[in-house]
Structure formats: C-alpha cells, structure tokens
Amino acid sequence: MYIIAGLGNPGKQYEQTRHNMGFIAIDQLAEKHSISVTKLKHKALTGEGFFGGTKLLLVKPQTYMNLSGQSLREVMQYYKEDIEHLLVIYDDIDLPPGALRIRAKGSAGTHNGMRSVIYDLQQDGFARIRIGIGGNGQIPLDKYVLGGFTKEEKPLLEEAVRKAVSAVECYVEKGINAAMNAYNTKVEKKQPKRQAGQDRKEAMGTPKTGDDNGQ
C-alpha cells in the first residue's frame, strides 16, 4: 500500500489558499480515481482506493499545518507501512509558482508542516512533491501563504496540481526516480548581481565572496 498525504489547513476559509496545495492535489487525485476522502481517522480525513491494482491511502491531516506530523505519525504506526511507501505533497515558497520539485528524501526547508512531519516521524527518508507558490517580499509570509490565488497564478497552479497527480501515479507505478525524471520542473538559478568593478578585482586576484551553489 502507498500512503499519499497532502498538507494543508482544515476549514472552508483555507480551501483555496496557497498553503493548501497539498489538500487540493489530494482532492483532485481522489476525484480522478473515485476515492472518497471523508473518513475521520488518525486526526485526518482519509480514504482508501486502488490505482492500477495498487492500494492507496489518501490522507489530509486535520491538525492544522504546524502539527501535521502528529497525524502522519499515527497513520504510519497504525498501518506499519514502510517509510518508502509514504509520499507527502505540499506548497513551497522557494519555487516559482507552478514549478514542481520531486525528491526521494530530504530536509523540511522552510516549511513548518514538513518540519512537524519529520520531527514526529523522526526520519526524512520519504518521497515528497513540492508545488511552487513563489513568494512576495512585499506581503508578510503568513498573509501570503494563507492568501488566495491571483488571476495570473491560478492557471499555473492548476496545471501544477494536474502534473502533481500524474507524478503520484508515476511514482506508484514506476517508482520515485521515474517520477523525478518525468515531472521535475527545470528552474534556472538566479545569478547574483555583480557589483561595479568586481570583474576587475577578481582579475587582479581578489578572492570571490559568497557561495555559488545557491544555498
């Protein structure tokens, strides 16, 4: 069995917000495969179904985002499923709107929901799909992620959710590497602005400053 969890906040006021991309993806996956995600269990709305003969458990934690790990810990303990059969879908402000980033494991980055999941599971060796929502330095982070979609963002995010659903299907059928190869969005790294005269100083042997690996 594969456990596919989407992170978000419960309640109608949060349904169409950037921070609920995980819930939105689960809803679309459920609709596509006629899975009813309505059973309240393990502090989550859950639903069981099948895709290509493989059993799926879809999970939407109802603990609010920052405590998502409490729900997924209960799910994993109850079903005793291998951590490699867990996939978590969530939003990411560090990716451009509509971009997808799929990984087999990794850190939580800046996402509080994923921090909770990793803390409660005490491991990070599970697959994840990050849906980019971008960022806006002019709007406080909490207001930005809990805000609705702009007219420009909406088609990008709708397409990203469709691709995320296809990526889940690919992951279940062919594995995480196939999903990464097929659905990861290529995002160009932004080059830091060069200060006036920097080229000349470097040519004269002045050491470079900063880190070119983007971290």
Residue 197 lies in a domain: no
Reduced to 3 states, what is the DSSP secondary structure of residue 130? strand
Strand locations in 24-122, DSSP E?
39-41, 44-51, 54-61, 86-92, 100-103
Q: DSSP secondary-structure letter at 65?
A: G
Answer for the pair 99, 62: CB distance below 8 angstroms, yes or no: no
Choose among 93, 35, 46, 103: nearest CA to 71: 46
207 domain residue, yes or no: no
The pTM is what?
0.86
Q: Is residue 208 situated within a structural domain?
A: no
Distance CA(40)–CA(60), nearest Å, equals: 9
Active-site annotation holds for 111: no
Could you tell me if residue 75 is inside a domain? yes
Rounded-to-integer distance, Cα 196 and Cα 193, Å: 9
Q: Please indicate, yes or no, if residue 43 is contained in any of the structural domains.
A: yes
Are 46 and 186 in contact by the 8 Å Cβ rule? The answer is: no
Token pair 């296809």 in the structure block, residue: 166
Contacts of 199 (CB under 8 A, 6+ apart): none
Q: Which domain holds residue 146?
A: 2-188
Residue pair 91/22 in contact by the 8 Å Cβ criterion: yes
Please indicate, yes or no, if residue 13 is contained in any of the structural domains.
yes
Cross-strand bridge partners of residue 72? none
Q: pLDDT in tens for each of the 215 residues of the chain? A: 999 999 999 999 999 999 999 999 999 999 999 999 999 999 999 999 999 999 999 999 999 999 999 999 999 999 999 999 999 999 999 999 999 999 999 999 989 999 999 999 999 999 999 999 998 778 999 999 999 999 999 999 999 999 999 999 999 999 999 999 999 998 765 544 444 444 433 333 333 333 333 33
Query: CATH code at 53?
Result: 3.40.50.1470
Confidence at residue 155, expressed as pLDDT on a 0 to 100 scale: 97
Separation between Cα atoms, residue 121 and residue 111, nearest integer Å: 16
- Assess if residue 150 is contained within a domain: yes
Q: Are 214 and 189 in contact (CB under 8 A)?
A: yes
Structurally, how many domains does the chain consist of?
1
Closest CA to 5 of 164, 145, 211: 164
Could you say which of 19, 42, 85, 111 is catalytic?
A: 19
Q: Torsions phi, psi of 57, nearest 5?
A: -120, 115
pLDDT of amino acid 189: 56
In this prediction, residue 120 carries a pLDDT of 98
Instruction: Give domain status of residue 148, yes or no.
Output: yes
